[in-house]
Chains A and B, each alone.
Chain A
């Protein structure tokens, strides 16, 4: 089977903007930790971390430019982990 590499040129500024957004979110996550919002600061930190991870996956790891198969497959490990963590927490909360 003959396949060409993706002939999609991603502009350098796309990567630089992604990096700037990541730095901004890092500053935000450090600030969020200082706010002492109790359990909410952990939730904010996880949400910000997930936003950063999505930026890395989408732009740096080229997921945006890959075929649909790659995007769909990524849901398998993420869903597996989420379900396992969810079920474990049900055990902790309602034991």
Chain B
């Protein structure tokens, strides 16, 4: 097994603590939006139920499974590099990136479908609807949009880590960067775990 040799001083706890503190600000960012959702849903319950019917539960569930699986491959990528098995870690990182891209491809088809049906911010069809439905679609686009932006950022970071792993910048002796990338990716997964029932399953 790969034993860590201490040539330079590294602060692993500090690095991870810093990442967690950043994740807390992300929790508060999405928490604020969940609060707005909760309040508007409470006030416009019937409208939210009806608007939720426009959502494709199948795509939502498929994307949930994709993200959960990508979290598994990310956890395994870290566990493999921890054991010093670089090749396997690279494979799992590549799988994570591919699954993330799959999530975005689904999202593309889903949003194209909404737009084809006339459901997009400020569309004439949407503006003719009740106040609660406009709010539902507004929240839907903002929350899943900012989440999708996080997926894009997470993917880019993991792709960068993949390159670093191949070059030896991430190795069994020093993989805290990959761990922190993983923490970000898992948080993106956690946020989706809440977005899925709130937007797709409220009918």
Residues of A whose CB lies within 8 Å of any CB of B are: 1-7, 9-10, 12, 15-16, 18-19, 22-23, 26, 29-30, 32-33, 41-42, 45-46, 48-49, 52-53, 56-57, 59-62, 66-67, 69-70, 73-74, 76-78, 80-81, 84-85, 88-89, 92
Contacts and interface: CB of A to CB of B under 8 A. Distances in A.
B31 A56 contact: no
15 contacts: A5-B175, A9-B82, A18-B75, A29-B197, A33-B197, A33-B201, A46-B197, A56-B189, A56-B190, A60-B74, A60-B182, A69-B17, A70-B17, A70-B20, A77-B24
A76 B196 CA distance: 25
Contact of B9 (A1, A76, A92): A1
B20 to A, nearest CB: 6
A23 B68 contact: yes
Interface residues of B, number: 53
B11 A3 contact: yes
Contacts of B20: 70, 73-74
Given A16-B72, A49-B194, A73 B12 contact: no
Interface of B: 4, 6, 9-13, 16-17, 20-21, 24, 27-28, 31, 34-35, 38-39, 42-43, 57, 61, 64-65, 68-69, 71-72, 74-76, 79, 82-83, 174-176, 179, 182-183, 186-187, 189-190, 193-194, 196-198, 201-203
B71 A89 contact: no
A26 B65 contact: yes
By CB atoms of chain A within 10 A, which of B16, B74, B174 has the most? B16
B interface, by DSSP: helix, strand, loop or mixed?
Answer: helix
A12 B186 contact: no
Given A48-B197, A56-B189, A77-B31, A89 B68 contact: no
Given A19-B69, A73-B24, A26 B38 contact: no
A70 B19 CA distance: 11
A10 B179 CA distance: 14
Nearest to A62: B179
Given A15-B72, A56-B71, A70-B17, A1 B35 contact: no
By CB atoms of chain A within 10 A, which of B24, B72, B186 has the most? B72
A45 B76 CA distance: 28
Contact of A60 (B11, B27, B71): B71
